[in-house]
Chain A
Amino acid sequence: MSETVASNLAAPRTGLPGLVDDWSVDKQTYHVPWGKAMMWIFLVSDTFIFSCFLVGYMTVRMTTAEPWPLPTDVFALSLFGSDPIPLILIAIMTFILITSSGTMALAVNYGYRRDKRMTAILMIATAVLGASFVGMQAFEWTKLISEGVRPWENPWGAPQFGSVFFMVTGFHGLHVTGGVIYLSIVAWKVSKGHYDKKGYEIVEITGLYWHFVDLVWVFIFAFFYLW
């Protein structure tokens, strides 16, 4: 018994024994800052919201007897007078979001090194990339609306295509927009040195939110645009 306690103090056990230790001692279970635990709880609940959208999309796409419009043609775009390239804007948006996830991961790293300047710069870069993503999404919406796509009809096939498109990408775009604002505020506070005493966990917490937005896009890209 005393052996176990001693070893717990020296180096907490990991894996399943660690799980038992964390839940059975009569104290705090999660050994992370409370803000990080709360962010994770929020992200798990958000996972359910996005999953409901995607499962709803799966159900209408499976049940509708009208043909589903082909995303590869719907989202084709000609660049510089070329023939329409399938999904090209969506691919660019995907790359932009991944790039922003990379800059965010680096920002977290520089935050823990207490390099305020680099952290703020990388977070602002992330926010700018996120804003450009939202801009492209606004362009995509404008283009589809001008082609007659509405939540209740479209010129090509199953009317549910429009409702799913506007709901899913709209809700995701709202998350990106919120993330851009969140990032800008935290970057500004980092550069002012507001976290010198509190520590830089806040950058990691902000990063969790941002990576989650990228994660959701991975699923939307696969199921809505590629499927």
Chain B
Amino acid sequence: MSAEAGQQHPLGIYLKIWILLFVLSTLSYLVDYIGFQGYLRWTLILVFMFLKAGFILAIFMHVMWERMALVLTILGPPVALLFLIGFMAVEGDYTFGARVDYFGADPNAEPLPVTHIGAHEEEH
């Protein structure tokens, strides 16, 4: 495959990935609709997210057919972000703990219920 000729692949693979992305999006929506909570919810969200992101990158953006030099240029630098996420998570956890321990914040406070303004109620 020569890069100069551009990325050309059979239509079928795009259609298959397209359908797959629809299925994965439906599944990730169902996680919320069914109302899974806790670790099961977070795991499912992450699994569907990484699958979707992976297929978009690999197939739609053609990364799996690119030469390794370009692939590493694209995927290498973002690895640094994992460290940023890790450090900020540790820092955030510490700040939250300090607010609870020293500022008397309630760690189990619930958000206020959401009431939507209907079109009818808006008038008065």
Give the B-binding residues of A (Cβ under 8 A): 12, 14-16, 18-19, 22-23, 29-32, 37, 40-41, 43-44, 47-48, 51, 55, 58-59, 62-70, 72-74, 76-78, 84, 86-87, 91, 94-95, 98, 101-102, 104-106, 108-109, 112-113, 146-147, 155-158, 199-201, 204, 207-208, 211-212, 214-215, 218-219, 221-222, 225-227
Given A211-B56, A219-B49, verify A84-B116 contact (CB < 8 Å).
yes
- B4 at the A interface (CB under 8 A): yes
* Cβ contact within 8 Å between B45 and A58: no
Q: Find chain B residues with CB under 8 A from A62 CB.
A: 89, 92-93, 95-96
* Cβ contact within 8 Å between B116 and A76: yes
Given A19-B72, A44-B78, A106-B14, verify A58-B29 contact (CB < 8 Å).
no
* Cβ contact within 8 Å between B32 and A226: yes
Instruction: Report how far A225 CA is from B32 CA in the complex, Å.
Output: 9
Give the A-binding residues of B (Cβ under 8 A): 3-9, 11, 14-15, 17-18, 21-22, 25, 28-29, 31-33, 35, 41-42, 45-46, 48-49, 52-53, 56-57, 59-62, 66-70, 72-74, 77-78, 81, 84-85, 88-89, 91-93, 95-96, 99-100, 103, 105-107, 109-114, 116-118, 122
* Cβ contact within 8 Å between A102 and B81: no
Instruction: Report how far A70 CA is from B116 CA in the complex, Å.
Output: 13
CB distance from A81 to the nearest CB of B (A): 9
One of B15, B56, B85, B117 near A55 (C-beta < 8 A)? B85
Q: Find chain A residues with CB under 8 A from B114 CB.
A: 69-70, 73-74, 76, 156
CB distance from B122 to the nearest CB of A (A): 8
Q: Find chain A residues with CB under 8 A from B41 CB.
A: 226
Instruction: Report how far A58 CA is from B88 CA in the complex, Å.
Output: 8
One of B29, B109, B122 near A65 (C-beta < 8 A)? B109
CB distance from A98 to the nearest CB of B (A): 5
* Cβ contact within 8 Å between B29 and A212: no
* Cβ contact within 8 Å between B73 and A69: no
How many contacts between A and B, using CB within 8 angstroms?
Answer: 191
* Cβ contact within 8 Å between B52 and A40: no
* Cβ contact within 8 Å between B14 and A105: yes
* Cβ contact within 8 Å between A147 and B53: no
Q: Find chain B residues with CB under 8 A from A146 CB.
A: 117, 122
One of A32, A47, A68, A74 near B70 (C-beta < 8 A)? A32
Majority secondary structure of chain A interface residues (helix, strand, loop or mixed): helix
Instruction: Report how far A102 CA is from B113 CA in the complex, Å.
Output: 38
**Which interface residue of A14, A74, A101, A219 has the most chain B CB atoms within 10 A?**
A101
Given A74-B114, A106-B14, A214-B56, verify A15-B68 contact (CB < 8 Å).
yes
Would you list 19 pairs from A and B whose C-beta atoms are within 8 A, ordered by A residue?
A: A47-B78, A47-B81, A51-B84, A55-B81, A59-B91, A62-B92, A65-B105, A65-B107, A65-B109, A67-B111, A72-B32, A72-B35, A74-B114, A91-B25, A94-B29, A95-B22, A104-B60, A113-B8, A201-B6
Nearest residue, chain B, Cβ from A201? B6
* Cβ contact within 8 Å between A30 and B70: yes
Instruction: Report how far A37 CA is from B67 CA in the complex, Å.
Output: 12
Nearest residue, chain A, Cβ from B114? A73
* Cβ contact within 8 Å between B116 and A19: no
Given A63-B99, A156-B114, A219-B53, verify A40-B4 contact (CB < 8 Å).
no
